[in-house]
Amino acid sequence: MLSVRVLGSSSAMPLHGRHHSAQWLQYENLYFLLDCGEATQHQLLRYRLPFPKLNAIFITHLHADHVGGLAGLLTTLHMQGRQKPLYLFGPVGLRAFLEGQLLGTFSALRYPLYIQEMLLRREKVLLWEDNRIEAWGFPLQHGVPTNGYLFVEKPKPRRLDPARFAESGLPNKLLPLLKQQGEIVHEGRRITWDSVSLPPPPPRSYAYCTDTTFTTEIADFVSGVTVLYHEATFLSEHQDRAKQTFHSTAREAALIAEASHAQRLYIGHFSTRYKDLLPLLEEARQYFAETYLVEEGQTLAFP
Amino acid sequence: MLSVRVLGSSSAMPLHGRHHSAQWLQYENLYFLLDCGEATQHQLLRYRLPFPKLNAIFITHLHADHVGGLAGLLTTLHMQGRQKPLYLFGPVGLRAFLEGQLLGTFSALRYPLYIQEMLLRREKVLLWEDNRIEAWGFPLQHGVPTNGYLFVEKPKPRRLDPARFAESGLPNKLLPLLKQQGEIVHEGRRITWDSVSLPPPPPRSYAYCTDTTFTTEIADFVSGVTVLYHEATFLSEHQDRAKQTFHSTAREAALIAEASHAQRLYIGHFSTRYKDLLPLLEEARQYFAETYLVEEGQTLAFP
């Protein structure tokens, strides 16, 4: 089951008790980190998250408020004695940036670090998958190479409906065969697996879109997403500033949620000029009712 | 008046509520930062220190727990609109490390940043001075180029003793001349400035010695220091580990304090293996009674 914990919600500077960008995504025993601003390791400790188990880190872009804690976290994992591999996804330049820091601080990592750099232009690419989940990358528009990420559960199999199976009159011992074949002819009647089973819950998905200027392409990349996290650095009254800095307004985040038919929108990456965030929420809700502000330490709710 | 605020006291990893190395030194309207581990800007905010006024940063060495927050802090100063120059002192490699990070995160600083790199071998060098204070650098032994720092008040002038001046019978109007010349012959008597004035308080000094293996040279570099901060990463029972990692034990820190005739010793940079720090204090006090543990947020006391 997809679960996302917010570690930071500030843009640019850590103010008003809000930290730089980072989110902790868990799916069963898979653990992903999305961005790694300065003091992410402190936040992971604060919320007692099992970060030694981390499988992969997904970096959106190489601005300090999204990668300032990366070298420190990787070094801490080393000092904790980590030996298992870690996967690191991000835009071009990530390897040079990171190796410069590790070399510059005389740090060597004991464990294998697999860095996958991407320069995405208009395409959405599958970055990682196992039998439970897929991770996709797609381009955002932020003036420097920037990736959005989409995490999608794979469809689960249909589940037995015991009542309808009993009605079918099929002996229990034929159930494995029915599942395997999809149908069985028993005592002259054709019984299908679909007729005695329930559809699985629809796969859930989570999209992480930060930082970006307003571009409707995002709605296509994340179409049908369950929960959308979209940056909303500014209010519409600072629309000019948003355009200049390749950021979005609360209204724009809501329009993307609407166009992508998301079930729920979380906004974050708030400008430090807003101590009170309620106006951002109110603005977004005019365009997309199911909008919520992220809060530090919060576990996002999946409908 | 020298004042030092502790922002971090942990070594290697930020655990037990202890942060990476950083200290805030103030002298009148001069503001210095000693080391800048990850989350230093968060600590500066927490303790409401006026870091936009920062004049200079002194970096001991390029290990992540001492420089992990440097690029982030410099970037924040830029975003705050800083225009006045900042001085940055540290070991060779500092410039390349920092420029790699700033370039890697597409960050440019608006304000002038003057970086002074040093490779100190056996010498103590004057790094900075004005009419009130001097900052010296000297080598520590930590396996990578590492500097200790010593901050010394300049001697203040002698102060008028009004009672003795009245006794001297010298008219008030001759006081400026007496101060200037040092002595005056008045009505046949020779009156000296020293005889009607009090000596200034002895200059105070602060030494910042981290990270380092035990080496008695340090006692020479900081001889007569008022307050010595010396790392005490380990207890003597982990002496082997201290030697391997070029760190000191609490006992060794105390021996340096004793040999340098320091008035007071503060120990810090504690290994994360010690949740309870009292044994470190007790060990050090066996060799130097005036030992104290640093605490996060604490203002160090000058005798």
Q: For A231-246, how does the pLDDT look when each residue is reduced to its tens digit (9 = 90+)?
A: 999 999 999 999 999 9
pLDDT of residue B278: 98
Query: Do A68 and B64 lie within an 8 Å CB cutoff?
Result: no
In the predicted model, what is the mean pLDDT of residues B5-19?
95
> Predicted confidence band at A303 (pLDDT cuts at 50, 70, 90)?
confident
Our CA-based measurement puts residue A68 at a distance from the nearest CA of chain B, in whole angstroms, of 7
Mean pLDDT, chain A, integer: 95
> What are the tens digits of pLDDT across the range B167-182?
998 999 999 999 999 9
Of B13, B75, B100, the CB nearest to A64: B75
Over range A117-130, report the average pLDDT.
Answer: 93
- Using the predicted structure, report yes or no on whether residue A116 has a pLDDT greater than 90: yes
Closest CB to A62: pick one of B15, B64, B104.
B104
Q: How many percent of chain B have pLDDT more than 70?
A: 100
How many CB pairs (< 8 A) connect A and B? 93
- Measured between CA atoms, the residue of chain B closest to residue A271 is B79
Give the pLDDT confidence score for residue B110 in this predicted structure.
Answer: 93
Q: Chain A residue closest to B67 (CA)?
A: A105
Q: How close B75 gets to chain A, by Cα (Å)?
A: 8
Chain B contact set for A68 (CB, 8 A): 38, 69, 71-72, 105
- C-alpha B250/C-alpha B236 separation (Å) is 7
- What's the confidence (pLDDT) of residue A121? 87
Assign B291 a pLDDT band (cuts: 50, 70, 90): very high
Specify the 3-state DSSP secondary structure of B286.
coil
- As a CATH number, domain B2-156+201-293 is 3.60.15.10
pLDDT at B1: 83
- Check B35, B65, B130, B276 and give the catalytic one: B65
pLDDT band at A1 (very low <50, low <70, confident <90, very high): confident
pLDDT of residue A81: 96
Q: Is B240 a catalytic residue?
A: no
Give pLDDT tens digits for A126-137: 999 999 999 999
pLDDT above 90 for A25: yes
Chain A residue numbers with beta carbons less than 8 Å from the beta carbon of B101 are: 97, 100-101, 104
> Which part of chain B is CATH 3.60.15.10?
2-156+201-293
Residues on A contacting B at a C-beta cutoff of 8 Å: 12-15, 19, 38-39, 41-42, 45, 62-64, 67-69, 71-72, 75-76, 79-80, 93, 96-97, 100-101, 104-107, 144
Residue in B13, B72, B106 closest to A62 by CB = B106
Q: What is the pLDDT of residue B303?
A: 87
Q: What is the pLDDT of residues B17-64, one digit of tens each?
A: 999 999 999 999 999 999 999 999 999 999 999 999 999 999 999 999
Query: pLDDT tens, B106-149?
Result: 999 999 999 999 999 889 999 999 999 999 999 999 999 999 99
The arithmetic mean of pLDDT across residues B241-251, rounded, is: 97
pTM of the model: 0.89
Of B63, B69, B96, which has the smallest distance from its Cβ to A38's Cβ?
A: B69
Chain A: residue whose CA lies nearest to B95? A104
Contact residues, chain A, for B51 at CB < 8 Å: none
ipTM over 0.90: no
